[in-house]
Amino acid sequence: MKIVLILLIVLIIIIIGFVLFSIQRQDQDKILNEITTNENTIKLIGTLKDVSGGEATGSVGVAIGTSSYRLFAQMENMSELGQGMHFEAWLISSKNDTVSFKSLGVVEKNGDKYNQTYSSNEDLTDYRFYTVTVEYIDNPNEPGEHVLDGILYPEEKPLSDENVITPTQ
């Protein structure tokens, strides 16, 4: 009887894991559909991992055309912020041992989720690290605490924990 109960629990855990993975994949497919308008684009996706000790999660998708860069990100389970604070998104590049930062602006709250859209004619192909920080409105020059981090990979790369990085990597 105990063996049957243990097998049943293991089966339930496997099913829950499969459902969660499927939901994450559907979210990323939705994000890619949100930003993609033709087949001549490079598509990048990323899974965002909470690096602040919270439970925030998210996905980001990018479509890069010949003269356009479009990004859409969606985040959930973000912590509540105090007065005078906001979430800000960044792209980071580390090409030729030079680190470059590109602010994408404030991440907007939409119901219980946060969304960000960003468009540019600038070539941001080398910016493959996406991060969300907590920023103080009164002190815009002070770097904020990282909340979510992730790497942008070509669409065909399978999802796994190795696609998600922490600031120490």
Q: pTM for the complete prediction?
A: 0.69
**pLDDT by position in tens, the chain (length 169):** 778 667 667 667 766 655 555 555 555 555 555 544 454 567 888 999 999 999 999 999 888 887 788 899 999 999 989 899 999 999 999 887 888 889 999 999 988 899 999 999 988 888 999 999 999 887 766 778 999 999 998 876 444 444 443 333 3
Q: Which of 71, 87, 152 is nearest to 119 (CA)?
A: 71
CATH number for the domain whose boundaries are 2-163: 2.60.40
CB proximity list for 90: less than 8 A, separation 6 or greater: 101, 102, 103, 104, 130, 131, 132, 133
Separation between Cα atoms, residue 75 and residue 148, nearest integer Å: 9
